[in-house]
Amino acid sequence: MMNEEEKVLSIQYKEKIYIFFRLLTHPIDALNDVKYEKKGSLTIANIILFLFFLVHMFSSSKTGYLFLSSNEVKVNIISVFLTSVGAVALWNVCNWAVCTLFDGEGSFREIWIMTCYSILPYVILQPMIVLFSNVLSIDETVLYSTLSTLAMAWFLLLAFLSMMVCQQFTVTKTIVLAIVTFLAILAVAFLALMLFSTSQQIIGFVKNIVLELLL
């Protein structure tokens, strides 16, 4: 028999599990519950993010040959990680920074949870799309493209609603700051690339000097 405290914890856990299923049918209500009723779970959000990484890897390695974006079949796990977990983390950091400057009400924890929850449709649909890609013919490219677009559009819609609810912005302000966030991501990526390139040149220069001194 469970005591009262265990019953309360059990109910709270079930609510946190139920909330991301409700997100698929009543997204705004579910997101409001995450923000104001604290029904979101950081653990579940991180599980969804990890599943996103696995699904992205599965998609990169198992998509039908006819629908591959390139002839490269070898999967680079670092590249997959950066374009899945890394991309989500960078979005969350940049979005938090931008929204904080423009009087957003969302905390970094809320942004992280809501963004990760938004990935759920992609995590559910993409494996099925990948499996379909292995039985579809080249004449059925439109079906594959439609399914892929649907999964991505659903994810982007939920991400947009998450930002709007989390920060309590209007639709227009959410659109503008989403664009600003995207530009901030490009700026960070550019600076990171420049820093990496410069560091490689410095390392090469120092290595050449050391070799000349030793020879």
Residue 40 has pLDDT above 70, yes or no: yes
Q: How confident is the model at residue 7 (pLDDT cuts 50, 70, 90)?
A: low
Q: Give per-residue pLDDT as tens, 73-84.
A: 577 888 899 999
* pLDDT more than 90, % of the chain: 41
Phi/psi at 82 (nearest 5 deg)? -65, -35
pTM of the predicted model as reported, rounded to 2 decimal places = 0.83
Q: How far apart, in whole angstroms, are the C-alpha atoms of residue 147 and residue 208?
A: 52
Per domain, the residue ranges of the chain are 4-214
Q: How confident is the model at residue 27 (pLDDT cuts 50, 70, 90)?
A: confident
Q: How far apart, in whole angstroms, are the C-alpha atoms of residue 5 and residue 155?
A: 36
For residues 109-135, average pLDDT = 90
